[in-house]
């Protein structure tokens, strides 16, 4: 088996690269351990909680006991299916704030400032405003990825945005445009009622060219001879197979599996590799380090009115909605139901938002457990830029063994200060006048939870991952001892090998990570092809009084 390029992982970045490299006339083999993304559990947007809880589609990772969260093991779903995590995620589309990418450039990722990446965000998307307004000049019109907005028919969606306005925050009609800060409609990767994953947007068109082939198998290690990556050894039902690359090997296997595969190949912290008897080909201490994530809680309110999605939380109603979706592609099942959101700053002196809200007109957890009170609604809320850092390490030299994941959540005092602020600011939003006809009581955390100690106890027991792991193969200057790849995604010290997925993020971005992960695949493909799009110098909106005002 041979192609010009061998990509490990048919996820968000891998699919984008397969599309762009085949578009340029190259042959591509994509190695994916998971199977087909066909079927309603993945393609129906409202069914999002099912695939991320199914072993068929999810690697089933979980963290080590987290010492600052009562030693709980937190689940870390990663897509094990065509489309990767874009086939099991919540379909929320957030580019990130302009300052995120300027910070990347300041951290040594030269050429990844906002002016550099904005053209790629535009190239990748076809944006549909749904008549809600927005920033057309900032958006793409003919990319493979369809980005839409839900209909926001439930009055609670508008109440949430109005509550933000009543609390003194800005309203933004396009947080992916010039102004992220504020409250407004949320965007989703849904098109014509279907999950518009990276597989639907990029991989299937690439396969249709005849130049891209998907091979099922578990990547065991990169084949490296004399410092040159030549292919990937995979385990298949028929035994070991070597998939050879005429030009390059590209790892796009996730922020968990990409560092794992580098370490299995002898690339990583020398001492750790020696512990597992793996010969060291490149001593890169940063491999597997710098692990970051977003932590969040479900801030839940009981509803006075029976207007929430709880009325559909029974087998008959689910069956009717499912049938409507199958027959027409429409109805409540055609949306992820995250249709309003907010991005705010936690304090004066914070220059851009560091708290995100996902609003849902239902009180339910990602694992599908509804609040016992029945009718309710919630905001998922948490800080965006935790200073805590964790790592991914091998548990064994056996490629089939899950790696050891230690997020080290809430390990600094700043984490606790920021999270308490986020909870208190959320409570204030739900106390606004517009919510008076809807709020019956506070389910969680509960009105008795007010002191620092009580809020800390609630966070320790109830905070969950937002499933945004990144940073474990950090991009930076080759002279930086912790950098794993350079600014063109090339693995430092090995020829013919790149990493391009969320693992290369120097710092986590504001919001959900699917959009920036696809952008990485888009931009990396241009680096591979030896070209780049011209910069876009559009100036993002910053709050004029950010230095002295929280809102």
Nearest by Cα to 378 from 323, 460, 445, 471: 445
**Neighbouring C-alpha atoms within 13 Å toward the C-beta of 223:** 14
- The torsion angles phi and psi of 104, rounded to 5 degrees, stand at -55, -50
Give the angle 419-424-426 at the CA atoms, nearest 5°. Answer: 95
253 closest CA partner among 22, 48, 497, 466: 497
Q: Are 548 and 25 in contact (CB under 8 A)?
A: no
Q: Is 468 a catalytic residue?
A: yes
Q: Are 183 and 172 in contact (CB under 8 A)?
A: yes
Among left, alpha and beta (phi > 0; psi -120 to 50; other), residue 335 is beta
287 annotated among ligand-binding-site residues: no
Which one is catalytic: 358, 375, 468, 543?
Answer: 468
Give the residue carrying structure tokens 């093991």: 73
Burial class (CB in 10 A: 0-12, 13-18, 19+), 238: exposed
Tell whether 90 is in a known binding site.
yes
| Pairwise CA distance, residues 532 & 370, whole Å | 47
Q: Are 273 and 280 in contact (CB under 8 A)?
A: yes
Do residues 292 and 389 make contact, with C-beta atoms less than 8 angstroms apart? yes
Answer yes or no: is 337 a known binding residue: no
- 514 assigned ligand-binding residue: no
Q: How many CB atoms lie within 10 A of CB 112?
A: 25
Is the Cβ–Cβ distance between 520 and 254 less than 8 Å?
no
Q: How far apart are CA 214 and CA 267, in angstroms?
A: 25
Q: Residue 190, annotated ligand binder?
A: no
Q: What is the set of active-site residues?
A: 468
Binding residues: 81, 89-92
Binding residues for FAD: 81, 89-92
């Amino acid at each position: 088996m041979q192609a010009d390029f061998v990509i490990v992982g048919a996820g968000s970045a891998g699919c984008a690269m397969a599309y762009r490299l085949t578009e340029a006339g190259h042959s591509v083999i994509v190695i994916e351990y998971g199977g087909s993304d066909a079927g309603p559990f993945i393609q129906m947007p409202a069914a999002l909680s099912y695939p991320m809880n199914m072993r068929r589609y999810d690697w089933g990772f979980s963290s080590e006991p987290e010492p600052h969260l009562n030693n709980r093991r937190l689940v870390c779903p990663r897509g094990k299916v065509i489309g990767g995590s874009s086939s099991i995620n919540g379909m929320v589309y957030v580019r990130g704030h302009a300052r995120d990418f300027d910070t990347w450039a300041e951290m040594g990722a030269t050429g990844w400032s906002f002016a550099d990446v904005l053209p790629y965000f535009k190239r990748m998307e076809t944006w549909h405003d749904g008549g809600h307004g927005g920033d057309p000049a900032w958006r793409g019109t003919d990319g493979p990825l369809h980005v839409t907005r839900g209909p926001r028919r439930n009055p609670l969606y508008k109440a949430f945005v109005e509550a933000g306005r009543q609390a003194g925050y800005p309203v933004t009609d396009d947080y992916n445009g010039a102004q992220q800060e504020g409250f407004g409609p949320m965007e989703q990767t849904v098109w014509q009622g279907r999950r518009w994953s990276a597989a639907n947007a990029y991989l299937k068109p690439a396969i249709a060219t005849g130049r891209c082939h998907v091979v099922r198998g578990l990547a065991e290690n990169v084949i490296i001879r004399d410092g040159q990556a030549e292919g990937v050894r995979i385990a298949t039902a028929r035994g070991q197979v070597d998939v050879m690359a005429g030009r390059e090997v590209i790892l796009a296997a996730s922020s968990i599996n990409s560092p794992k595969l580098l370490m299995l190949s002898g690339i990583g912290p020398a001492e750790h590799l020696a512990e597992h008897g793996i010969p060291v080909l490149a001593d890169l201490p940063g491999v597997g380090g710098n692990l970051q994530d977003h932590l969040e809680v479900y801030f839940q309110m009981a509803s006075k009115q029976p207007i929430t999605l709880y009325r559909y939380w029974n087998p008959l109603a689910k069956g009717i909605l499912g049938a409507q979706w199958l027959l027409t592609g429409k109805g409540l099942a055609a949306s992820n139901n995250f249709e309003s959101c907010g991005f705010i700053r936690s304090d004066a002196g914070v220059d851009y938002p560091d708290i995100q809200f996902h609003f849902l007109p239902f009180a339910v957890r990602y694992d599908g457990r509804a609040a016992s009170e029945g009718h309710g609604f919630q905001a998922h809320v948490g800080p965006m830029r935790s200073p805590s850092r964790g790592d991914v390490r091998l548990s064994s030299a056996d490629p089939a063994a899950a790696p050891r994941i230690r997020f080290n959540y809430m390990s600094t005092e700043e984490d606790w200060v920021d999270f308490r602020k986020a909870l208190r600011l959320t409570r204030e939003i739900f106390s606004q006048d517009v919510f008076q006809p809807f709020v019956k009581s506070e389910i969680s955390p509960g009105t008795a939870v007010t002191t620092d100690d009580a809020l800390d106890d609630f966070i320790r027991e109830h905070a969950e991952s937002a499933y945004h792991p990144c940073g474990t193969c950090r991009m930076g200057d080759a002279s930086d001892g912790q950098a794993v790849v350079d600014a063109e995604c090339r693995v430092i010290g090995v020829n013919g090998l790149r990493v391009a997925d969320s693992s290369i993020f120097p710092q986590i971005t504001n919001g959900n990570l699917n959009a920036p992960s696809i952008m990485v695949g888009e931009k990396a493909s241009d680096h591979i092809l030896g070209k780049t799009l011209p910069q876009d110098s559009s100036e993002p909106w910053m709050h004029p009084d950010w230095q002295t005002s929280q809102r």
